[in-house]
Amino acid sequence: MTDKFKLIERQEDLVKLLEDADITYSMYKNAVEKYTAVVDLLSSNGIDSHIYPQGSFAIGTVVKPLRRNKDADYDLDVICEVSCSKAETTAPQLYKKIKDALESSGRYDKKLHFFEECIRIEYADVGGYKFSMDIVPSVPEEIREILKMKSFTQRPDLCDTAIAITELDNDSLGWGKSNPKGYEKWFSEINERFHNYDFGVNTNRQQIFQNNLTVFSSADEIPLQIVRTPLQRVVQLLKLHKASYFSNPNVKDFSVKSVIIATLAAHSAQKAPAHYNTFELLDFVLKDLQKYSTLKDNPTLFKALNPDKGIIEFDGTEWKIENPSNPMDNLANSWNEDNEYVKYFFMWVNSAIKDFDTIIGDQDLVYGSVLSKMFGEGKVKDFGYDRKYKLVSPTPIEPHVQHKPWLDYENA
């Protein structure tokens, strides 16, 4: 076991790499300016709309893509909610209306790309990254559908912001259900518990202020959208580890969705002490999720022994992870289509536990390899950590040797 000072040093080094993987204030500001400009353009074409981010940008868990290749992209997913009722238009009509308005402006000449469900605008590089914005057309959901959603959930208050989005169904464009504002509200409520403690909002704001003295006159000016709590940091760390773990070609098709990571981490964090720092919370979340690995073997016994554990459900046939803002959305649908998703999810959780446990281990060499795996050897060297931790480049497992990602964690 490493001593206390070594432990603190390793944690600080990991946080520095994580902060570098986070979006900068200029990237955040640029994104807001970009979708605000789209709102103005649509308004000039008679379309009253509201554009807002969804996913990781909305809940503050964005991580920049690792620049391991020239095709690294920074994507922003936004909802374009048009002020008209669902009864007044069809999904194809709404899509065409927004498409025509964007095409009518020379501002986006050669930047537009049209997909079945969304419209992409590709911009010039931002901070060395390709930047694009995917716009999903939507309208407010009908009251009868909202009432139906409310009848299936324990949080009916989250359903009021539900929307109908353009979604492909049997090769034709129709309406799908979504509720990014409801999800953001749910996540933010849990995240609020971690705002005012060590490594929380106040500390993070001071760090951002010190790094941006020419931008802000005080820490209070820094928008909460770029401030990170321990919960947000935990989700970011898990997403980075996931990206590394599933980069192996053997398992990349079974990667864990980011929304599953955020949902499970937030659910788990509700039971954790609010004074936990990032690494205490990370350990709590991972070990809480690990307990679900026995659920498949005997669901009845698992429920009897763990009556407080209902984040991941399995009835012997079907897996379920309910979207907290949309009870009609089972985030674990892919697990039911192919059991490999379940297997590799729990293998990844076990891998993450072992890798992050290297923070408190004795071997700097092992810890250095974990840093290289998550952030890229080049980035770790940029911070000078190759001299401190004596890096050994991680080598992916060859497909013909064994069908395991990175290492045989079951026998390591």
Tell me the pLDDT of the chain (412 aa) as tens digits.
Answer: 568 888 899 999 999 999 889 888 888 888 999 999 999 999 999 999 999 999 999 999 998 866 544 445 678 999 999 999 999 999 999 999 999 999 998 889 889 999 999 999 998 776 666 789 999 999 999 999 999 999 999 999 999 999 999 999 888 999 999 999 999 999 999 999 998 654 556 667 777 777 777 777 777 777 777 789 999 999 999 999 999 999 989 999 999 999 999 999 999 999 999 989 999 999 999 999 999 999 999 999 999 999 989 999 999 999 999 999 999 999 999 999 999 999 999 999 999 999 999 988 877 888 998 999 899 888 999 999 988 887 765 544 333 333 333 333 233 2
Indicate whether 213 belongs to any domain: no
Contacts with 51 (C-beta within 8 Å, 6 or more apart), sequence order: 35, 36, 38, 39, 78, 79, 80, 81, 135
Q: How many domains in the chain?
A: 1
Q: What are phi and psi of 163, to 5 degrees?
A: -130, 160
Indicate whether 330 belongs to any domain: yes
Provide the residue type at 22 as one letter.
D
Q: Of 46, 36, 167, which Cα lies nearest the Cα of 104?
A: 46
Return d(Cα 236, Cα 63) in angstroms, integer. 6
| β-bridge partners, 295 | none
In the block, which residue shows the tokens 């990170």? 228
| β-bridge partners, 129 | 126
Indicate whether 14 belongs to any domain: yes
DSSP string covering 31-48: HHHHHHHHHHHHHHTT--
Q: Of 329, 288, 333, which Cα lies nearest the Cα of 310?
A: 288
Contacts with 15 (C-beta within 8 Å, 6 or more apart), sequence order: 233, 278
Indicate whether 258 belongs to any domain: yes
Domain hosting residue 356, numbered range: 1-22+228-412
Indicate whether 211 belongs to any domain: no
Q: Is the pTM of this model over 0.75?
A: yes
Residues in the chain: 412
Indicate whether 98 belongs to any domain: no
How many beta carbons lie within 10 A of that of residue 154, not counting itself? 8
